[in-house]
Amino acid sequence: MSETLLSVGDLRVHFPLRRAMPFAPRRTVRAVDGVSFDVAPGTTFGIVGESGSGKTTIALAVMRLTDITGGRVALGGDELSALHGERLRAARKRVQMIFQDPYSSLNPRMRAGAIVEEPMQLMGLEDDAGRKARARELFTQVGLREDQLQLFPHQFSGGQRQRIGIARALATKPELVVCDEPVSALDVAIQAQILNLLTELQRQYGLTYLFISHDLGVVQYLCDEIAVMYLGRIVEQATREALFENPLHPYTWALLSAVPRLGRRRRGAASRIRLEGDPPSPINPPAGCRFSTRCPFAEARCRSEEPPLREVHAGHRIACHLVGEGGAVPHRPGLD
């Protein structure tokens, strides 16, 4: 088996804006601006960051639900970013998505069973009897009853609707499942049930997840490797253990310090790091490090020279001028 299932290289997704006046210069939103990562089969790769960091845009680009400006997306050696028309439609059965909102992501006019069968029908998989049998099987596996196949979405709770969404995503037997904040709209108790279900389904089917979230508690529970994004770029990437036990980037410190008791020995866990101001606009990102306008440790170099994403430990990558070789971090008065 290949060591990489999903490979994303220098991915860029830019959205041109309409001109305010006929001869005004055209502005562009740089939602994702040079992101690269690999995901191994059977693992969960998490992408975390503030709203507007570009994490959901990456999910849509991997699914080919938004246009890619540059870079590549490959699934098991096949260039998804180069496929179009019928070839792209045929490849969609290999990668499916669980959406954030279980209320708006299901067609209210379709019965639950038909919702699960629809991807198989669109992709020409199985005959009618086979699709119905597959829907019954999936309903049981996600914790729903077969008699609920005939119900409409409004007759289910939020957690049950998300279980339908999970069943629909698994209907085509995909290799990769993109999870776009799949529990953020659910109550905490229901979140735990859905996360446990995703874990069990991964174990049973050998699934690979690309998991998008802003909730570090959820990411710590589910993900094997995590990338932290800020303003369209990855600023830190590491295994779950390394990121939560030894975060290196000041932005990661700030994110972790806002969440109580994610780990007993996390750097700066006892002190809150408060960031001043809002993230800059992705239309006109600052020169140098994009975090420099909010970083309490920024120096002149940070504001003029963009830091590369480099490896400082095995599997631990960081984009920060202030982190030395071997992972030496800048001094933080009152926090170290």
Per-residue pLDDT tens over the stretch 35-52: 999 999 999 999 999 888
Residue 333 resides in a domain? yes
Residues 6 or more apart in contact with residue 260 via CB below 8 angstroms: none
Task: Please check whether residue 227 is in contact with residue 43, taking contact to mean a CB–CB distance below 8 angstroms.
Answer: no
Task: Please check whether residue 93 is in contact with residue 125, taking contact to mean a CB–CB distance below 8 angstroms.
Answer: yes
Torsion of CA 86, 88, 92, 93, to 10 degrees: 50
| pLDDT confidence band for 261 (50 / 70 / 90) | low
Task: Please check whether residue 276 is in contact with residue 294, taking contact to mean a CB–CB distance below 8 angstroms.
Answer: yes
Q: What letter would DSSP give residue 36?
A: E
Task: Please check whether residue 194 is in contact with residue 102, taking contact to mean a CB–CB distance below 8 angstroms.
Answer: no
Q: Which of 220, 159, 160, 213 is nearest to 184 (CA)?
A: 213
Beta strands across the sheet bearing 6-16: 28-39, 6-16, 70-75, 78-79
pTM for the whole structure = 0.91
How far is residue 226 from each of residues 13, 162, 172, 181, measured CA to CA in Å? 21, 24, 27, 14
Residue 263 resides in a domain? yes
Residue owning tokens 């740089």: 30
| pLDDT confidence band for 331 (50 / 70 / 90) | low
Tokens of 56: 């959901």
Tokens of 105: 């992501």
Q: Which of 256, 212, 209 is nearest to 32 (CA)?
A: 212
Residue owning tokens 């289910």: 156
- Look up the domain containing 265 and give its range: 256-336
Residue owning tokens 């993900």: 223
- Whether pLDDT at 26 is above 90: no
Q: Which of 213, 250, 228 is nearest to 316 (CA)?
A: 228
Partners of 211 in beta bridges:
46, 179
Residue 332 resides in a domain? yes
pLDDT number for residue 267? 47
Residues 6 or more apart in contact with residue 84 via CB below 8 angstroms: none
**Calpha distance 39→27 (Å, rounded):** 33
Q: Which of 33, 28, 11, 8 is nearest to 230 (CA)?
A: 33
Residue 54 resides in a domain? no
Counting the structural domains of the chain, the total is 1
H helices of 99-145, where?
112-122, 128-141
Residue 306 resides in a domain? yes
Residue 301 resides in a domain? yes
- Whether pLDDT at 262 is above 70: no
The average pLDDT across 295-305 equals 92
Pick 277 or 210 by higher pLDDT.
210
Residue 318 resides in a domain? yes
| pLDDT confidence band for 332 (50 / 70 / 90) | low
Residue 303 resides in a domain? yes
